[in-house]
A = this chain, B = another copy of it.
Amino acid sequence: MGTETRQRQADRSRETRRKLMEATVECLVELGWSGTTTTVVAERAGVSRGAQLHHFRTRGELVAAAVEHLGAESVQHLKERAARVNGSTVAVVELIADFYASDLFTAALELWVAARTDPDLKTVVVPLEVRLGRETHRLAVELLGADETKPGVREAVQITLDLVRGLALANQLTDDGKRRARIVRHWATMLEDAL
């Protein structure tokens, strides 16, 4: 098999994986965890069950990979947007709040809640939660230009992330965007003083 053929196969394999993960996130957001079965995802992705099983052995593996993939994409997207804004604390906190109040949060929430009462799923999701949490904290420190050696700064960054998580949760059943914008702006002025 020539190099070119191997390359084409690798591309196709990556493309199949990507399709499956994107269909999984769509299913989680539209149908919730209970509606996100491997059959529904394969159909929506236009991928055969055999090809799906080759990439992801279980539903838990598929959904965790999908949320991790979306997490990595969202982080990239957030970094690009952050590079374009003026870098004020308000602008950065708004970006982080938007990052949370997104499909990533909704999909992750479905997965987290399902994992709470499913021990097998939990073993997959807990390490993912730790990785996403660390990555988000590191990113927030970087975007805010926060010096964590100064007393109180590490806590202020953590408050920012816990607050936007709470705000994202309040946005699940109804559109809480107006209230969220007001709270985010108010917190940003407090955070600026703390930094």
Contacts and interface: CB of A to CB of B under 8 A. Distances in A.
Interface of A: 30-32, 34-35, 106, 109-110, 112-118, 122, 125-126, 129, 133, 152, 155-156, 158-159, 161-170, 172-174, 179, 182-183, 186-187, 190, 194
Nearest to A163: B163
Copies of this protein chain in the complex:
2
Nearest to A158: B183
A113 B106 CA distance: 9
A156 B190 CA distance: 10
13 contacts: A32-B116, A35-B117, A106-B116, A112-B172, A126-B173, A155-B182, A155-B183, A155-B186, A156-B186, A158-B183, A159-B163, A163-B166, A166-B168
